[in-house]
Amino acid sequence: MSSKARYGLYVAVELAKNYNKGEYLNVTTLSQATGVSEKYLEQIIALMKKAEIVSATRGATGGYKLTATPEEITVGQVLRAVEDNLQIVDCLHSECSQRGKCVAHNLWGKLYDNINSYLDTISLTQLAEDKL
Amino acid sequence: MSSKARYGLYVAVELAKNYNKGEYLNVTTLSQATGVSEKYLEQIIALMKKAEIVSATRGATGGYKLTATPEEITVGQVLRAVEDNLQIVDCLHSECSQRGKCVAHNLWGKLYDNINSYLDTISLTQLAEDKL
DNA sequence: AACTAATCATAGTAAATTAGTAGGAATTGA
DNA sequence: TCAATTCCTACTAATTTACTATGATTAGTT
């Protein structure tokens, strides 16, 4: 797992903690809470936004919030949004010249399913409360 | 997963196919069977040997064979031997200054356990016969 | 004893990836 | 209009990956 995965979880947990307030948290606040630079967080949050885990408002008073409750959003959603390597190998979800010939290919597919079904059992609430 | 993981599985499957003959396969044979260079395979097999999945004899007529039956050896054993990244993050099994403070750390541990317990249900025989 | 075929050990390297930094455009509330 | 914010994209140093290369060591054969 890359630093993006870890930082993505930090951001998600921070937004989860503040979810009931209904406010948008800006990147400066998130940077202070997580200890990650604002500029790097922007890039990571952009991926989460693309995956529709967070929504944003721009301009003054802008910021980010979760698009669903922390009970509904899973660790799997966050990691798939942020971590390219979660797909195990590049050829798994693109075309692969060895498809069918490579003994590993099907294994990677099954492993991917296994990992994701586990990660999707864990909500942000569970992660935040360390109830794994 | 790196190329070492894939090639490690190729080698393991090839040795599994020839297990009943009881012979040692040399790296030239394995290279031809897998399409991977001899020199790169040597390095990968060295890791498998260190993990006691394969044994070797040197000198003329030397080569490699599995240390147990293909039914007994699991895909998990091979991948742990060969793939550093299987441990998800470096800090998981070494000292980590953030231990306890980092919400991700425990998750990585649970994920690691989950992945390995899955991979350890799959034998080389199953992999070779594509019965996942 | 010499020869040959093999493993074993380790150094080196080009390409790709990671983990950021940096600059500035676009947006929006006051 | 101004100021605070997100959004977009280019750049870069350090690390990792995926090998290649060289040579020492070992052991069966002649």
Task: Give the DSSP letter of residue A90.
Answer: G
Strand D contact with A50 (CB < 7 A): no
Does the beta-carbon distance from B107 to A9 stay under 8 Å? yes
- Compute the 3-state secondary structure of chain B and give helix, strand, coil in percent, each to the nearest 5: 60, 10, 35
Per residue in A74-88, pLDDT (tens digit) is 999 999 999 999 999
From residues 56-85 of A, which are strand C contacts by CB within 7 A? 57-62, 84-85
Residue of chain B whose Cα is closest to the Cα of A123: B107
Look-up of token digits 């010249």: A97
| Residue B75, pLDDT score | 98
Round to whole Å and give the CA distance between A99 and A17.
Answer: 44
Domain A3-86+123-128 class? mainly alpha
- Residue B97 scores a pLDDT above 80: no
**Rounded Cα–Cα distance for residues B91 and B29 (Å):** 38
pLDDT at A97: 73
Average pLDDT, chain A: 95
CATH of domain B3-128: 1.10.10.10
B3 touches strand C (CB under 7 A): no
B118–A111 C-beta distance less than 8 A: yes
DSSP string, B65-95: EESS-TTT-BHHHHHHHH-GGGGSSGGGSS-
Residues from chain A that touch B104, judged by Cβ atoms under 8 A, are 1, 5-6, 9-10
Contact B13, B127 (CB under 8 A): yes
Contact A111 B89 (CB under 8 A): no
Domain boundaries, chain B: 3-128
- Residue-wise pLDDT tens digits, A38-73: 999 999 999 999 999 999 999 999 999 999 999 999
